[in-house]
């Protein structure tokens, strides 16, 4: 059985912890493990390999975290743009043997009862061998309005229901045969593709063309123009709500999709006053609060049932029960044309990372860390010049038609419009302080000429 892990999604409901370029599945929230890592570990015991569906930025995050787990044999399929789950799963299935049984899982779910999880997977695998499309219905613990529901009878789906209002959710809970729609599936690759072709032929046809045209080397890369032509739809709408082959397995597996800070609070370890444990938290008569912050001391006096999330560049304070509204805050951040929704001050890149130390009108200062053997793209800028000061290691600098070495305590200047590249061919991290000067210092002021990682856009 192959575990198809869906790594897309921005996780903006956990902003400001989660950002577009560092979504929640890669944040280490549980014993220095991310949800992605927990997903891989959990399913590695039940599946013989993984196929990770991701975009190019998240591919490098995923790969780094797999290396931490000493799991380096996973396969990848990279999408240039997201087209929802129907296309992602179709492309993944097209790359596998037609009779392969697949377990499709999001990368950002928490499952605490792994013994029960194993039992329902064995049941799902047996149904999949009988050419059924299996979904998993989560036993509800409350009248939740944030999930869709599946109505079940004798493992048959009676109906899929959209997210209900609170009164309807209470009725579902009372009836007992309504389950949360988990977004996890199990089936043979060819059975799913056959049903997709039958019920959503345009998605099937365009996905097949995209797969045939894809670049296949050590991973599968879908071309942008082919991905763009695929209609956007979820697996539920495209197949599961139409097919006559669908079965649902009731699953009481300690599941959470961590879709809000309220749900995150429920899962984190707490002290005797009900506050989430944080060594930076100083509490006086404060109870039942989620306190998240890794840099500054957070002091609270006489507060209860509050969410406080502190990051280097953004602070969120909310009442418990209101954190589903974070998405409205993210929309306001986007309107202000800030990068706060997109990236942290510390941004991970395939070659290393950068940290924004200062960002003001006319200049920006960064700390750049380049891993041994890596290099940035060959690029140029239209609106800024750059000064590079090496503080550790040895830099190999390409500056227009010249290539030269810059050592620790030395600097170089990159004139606006010149092609340039920074490389580290040494054995230790290269650390550079970059000072950008110009009328515009946004990350989108870049023309990429050559890139080892086949990216477009940002540095």
Residue 457 domain-assigned?
no
The predicted structure's pLDDT at residue 457: 44
Q: Could you please report the per-residue DSSP string of 52-70?
A: EEE-HHHHHHHHHHHHHTT
Q: Whole domain around residue 438: which residue ranges?
A: 346-450
Residues 240 and 178 in one domain: yes
Residue 40 domain-assigned?
yes
Length of the chain: 459
Q: Is 410 helix (H, G, I), strand (E, B) or coil?
A: coil
Contacts of 26 (CB under 8 A, 6+ apart): 34, 35, 36, 58, 61, 62, 65
Q: How many angstroms separate the Cα of 302 from the Cα of each of 273, 282, 289, 397?
A: 12, 12, 11, 55
Distance CA 255, CA 186 (A): 17
Distance CA 6, CA 37 (A): 13
Nearest to 127 by CA among 105, 110, 107, 103: 103
Distance CA 340, CA 141 (A): 34
CA 331 to chain centre: 19
Contact 315, 418 (CB under 8 A): no
Distance CA 14, CA 341 (A): 11
Residues 320 and 237 in one domain: no
Residues 128 and 234 in one domain: yes
Residue 340 domain-assigned?
no
User: Which parts of 312-351 are beta strand (E)?
Assistant: 315-319, 346-349
Residue 456 domain-assigned?
no
Q: Which residues pair with 34 in a beta bridge?
A: 28
The predicted structure's pLDDT at residue 337: 66
Distance CA 36, CA 110 (A): 9
Residue 146 domain-assigned?
yes
Residue 401 domain-assigned?
yes
Distance CA 87, CA 81 (A): 11
Residues 252 and 282 in one domain: no
Nearest to 93 by CA among 185, 230, 226: 185
Residue that terminates a domain, selected from 197, 227, 256? 256
Residues 417 and 382 in one domain: yes
Residues 228 and 249 in one domain: yes
pTM beyond 0.95: the answer is: no
Give the phi and the psi of residue 189 in degrees, each rounded to 5.
-55, -45
The predicted structure's pLDDT at residue 456: 53
Q: To which H or E segment does residue 16 belong? A: none
Domain count, the chain: 3
Q: How many angstroms separate the Cα of 419 from the Cα of each of 367, 383, 402, 405, 456?
A: 21, 13, 10, 16, 16
SS (H, E, C) 264-282: HHHHCCECCCCCECCCCEE
Task: Return the structure tokens found at 163.
Answer: 């997210």
Residues 77 and 168 in one domain: yes
**What does each of the 459 residues of the chain score in pLDDT, given as a tens digit?**
999 999 977 768 899 999 887 889 999 999 889 999 999 999 998 999 999 999 877 888 898 899 899 887 789 999 999 999 999 999 999 999 999 999 999 999 999 999 999 999 999 999 999 999 999 999 999 998 889 999 999 999 999 999 999 999 999 999 999 999 999 999 999 999 999 999 999 999 999 999 999 998 878 999 999 999 999 999 999 999 999 999 999 999 999 988 899 999 999 999 999 999 999 999 999 999 999 998 899 999 999 999 999 998 899 999 999 998 999 999 998 888 667 877 778 888 889 999 999 888 889 999 999 999 999 999 999 999 999 999 999 999 999 999 999 999 999 999 999 999 999 999 999 999 999 999 888 877 888 999 888 775 444
Q: Which residues pair with 77 in a beta bridge?
A: 53, 220
Task: Return the structure tokens found at 122.
Answer: 């064995």
- Tell me whether the omega of the peptide bond preceding residue 322 falls within 30 degrees of 0, making it cis: no
Q: Is 349 helix (H, G, I), strand (E, B) or coil?
A: strand
Residues 101 and 229 in one domain: yes
Residues 373 and 404 in one domain: yes
Q: For residue 442, what is the domain's CATH number?
A: 2.60.120.10
Residues 282 and 409 in one domain: no
Q: For residue 42, what is the domain's CATH number?
A: 3.90.550.10
Residue 334 domain-assigned?
no
Residues 423 and 309 in one domain: no
Residue that terminates a domain, selected from 233, 256, 279? 256
Residue 167 domain-assigned?
yes
Residues 230 and 311 in one domain: no
Residue that terminates a domain, selected from 256, 274, 298? 256
The predicted structure's pLDDT at residue 64: 87
As a dihedral over the C-alpha atoms of residue 78, residue 256, residue 253, residue 159, rounded to 10 degrees, the angle is -80
């Amino acid at each position: 059985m192959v575990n198809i892990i869906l790594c897309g999604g921005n996780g903006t409901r956990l902003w400001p912890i989660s950002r577009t370029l560092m979504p929640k599945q890669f944040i280490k929230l549980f014993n220095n493990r991310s949800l992605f890592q927990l997903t891989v570990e959990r399913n590695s015991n039940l599946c013989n390999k993984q196929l990770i569906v991701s975009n190019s930025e998240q591919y490098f995050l995923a790969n780094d975290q797999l290396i931490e787990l000493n799991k380096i044999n996973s396969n990848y399929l990279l999408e240039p743009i997201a087209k929802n789950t129907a296309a992602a799963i179709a492309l993944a299935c097209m790359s596998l043997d037609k009779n392969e049984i697949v377990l499709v899982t999001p990368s950002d779910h928490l499952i605490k009862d792994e013994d029960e999880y194993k039992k329902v997977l064995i049941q799902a695998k047996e149904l999949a061998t009988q050419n059924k499309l299996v979904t998993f219905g989560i036993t509800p613990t409350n009248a939740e309005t944030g999930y869709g529901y599946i109505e079940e009878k004798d493992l048959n789906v009676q109906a899929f229901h959209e997210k209900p209002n609170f009164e309807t959710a209470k009725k579902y809970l009372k009836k007992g045969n309504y389950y949360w729609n988990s977004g996890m599936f199990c089936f043979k690759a060819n059975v799913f593709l056959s049903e997709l072709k039958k019920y959503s032929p345009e998605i099937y046809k365009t996905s097949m063309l995209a797969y045939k045209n894809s670049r296949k080397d050590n991973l599968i890369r879908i071309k942008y123009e082919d991905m763009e032509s695929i209609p956007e739809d979820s697996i539920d709408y495209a197949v599961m709500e139409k097919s006559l082959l669908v079965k649902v397995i009731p699953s009481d597996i300690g599941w959470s999709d961590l879709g809000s800070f309220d749900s995150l609070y429920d899962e984190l370890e707490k002290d005797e006053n009900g506050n989430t444990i944080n060594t930076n938290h100083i509490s006086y008569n404060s109870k039942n609060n989620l306190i998240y912050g890794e840099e500054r001391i957070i002091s609270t006096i006489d507060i209860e049932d509050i969410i406080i999330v502190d990051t280097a560049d953004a602070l969120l304070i909310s009442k418990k029960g209101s954190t589903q509204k974070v998405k409205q805050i993210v929309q306001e951040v986007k309107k202000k044309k800030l990068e706060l929704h997109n990236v942290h001050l510390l941004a991970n890149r395939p070659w290393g990372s950068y940290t924004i130390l200062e960002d003001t009108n006319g200049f920006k200062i960064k700390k750049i860390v380049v891993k041994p053997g890596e290099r940035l793209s060959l690029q140029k800028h239209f609106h800024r010049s750059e000064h590079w000061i090496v503080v550790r290691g040895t830099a190999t600098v390409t500056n227009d038609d010249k290539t030269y070495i810059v050592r620790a305590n030395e600097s170089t200047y990159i004139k606006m419009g010149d092609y340039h590249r920074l490389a580290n061919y040494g054995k230790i991290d290269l650390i550079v302080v970059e000072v950008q000067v110009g009328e515009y210092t946004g990350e989108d002021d870049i023309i990429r000429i050559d890139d080892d990682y086949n990216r477009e856009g940002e540095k």
